[in-house]
Amino acid sequence: MSWLIALGLAAACLAALLLVFKVPRRGWEALGAALLLGLAGYVLQASGQPGAPKVAAVPRSEDGKALVAARQQLRVGPPQQGNSWLIIADAQVRNGRYADASTLLLGAVEQNPKDSESWLALGIALVSHAEGNLSPAALHAFRQASAADPAAPGPPFFLGLALAQSGRLDEGRTLWTSLLKATPADAPWRGDLAARITALEGFIASQRAEAAPR
pLDDT of residue 67: 92
Residue type, 94: R
93 close to 126: Cβ distance less than 8 angstroms: no
Q: In angstroms, rounded to a whole number, what is the distance separating the alpha carbons of residues 171 and 176?
A: 9
Helix (H) or strand (E) holding 75: none
R_g of the chain computed on alpha carbons: 18
130 close to 141: Cβ distance less than 8 angstroms: no
pLDDT at 58 over 50: no
* Tens digits of residue pLDDT in 68-99: 999 998 987 666 656 788 999 999 999 999 99
Kindly report whether the global pTM for this prediction surpasses the value 0.75.
no
pLDDT of residue 138: 96
pLDDT of residue 7: 45
**pLDDT above 90 as % of the chain:** 53
pLDDT of residue 123: 96
pLDDT at 203 over 60: yes
- Cα angle for residues 119, 68, 14 (degrees, 5° grid): 60
Q: In angstroms, rounded to a whole number, what is the distance separating the alpha carbons of residues 128 and 108?
A: 18
* Tens digits of residue pLDDT in 1-36: 444 444 454 555 545 444 444 445 544 444 454 444
| pLDDT band, residue 126 (cuts 50/70/90) | very high
The whole-chain average pLDDT of the chain stands at 78
Mean local confidence (pLDDT), 131-145: 94
The residue ranking higher by pLDDT, 129 or 17, is 129
Nearest Cα neighbor of 40 from 128, 105, 99, 119 is 99
Q: In angstroms, rounded to a whole number, what is the distance separating the alpha carbons of residues 167 and 61?
A: 22
Mean local confidence (pLDDT), 119-123: 96
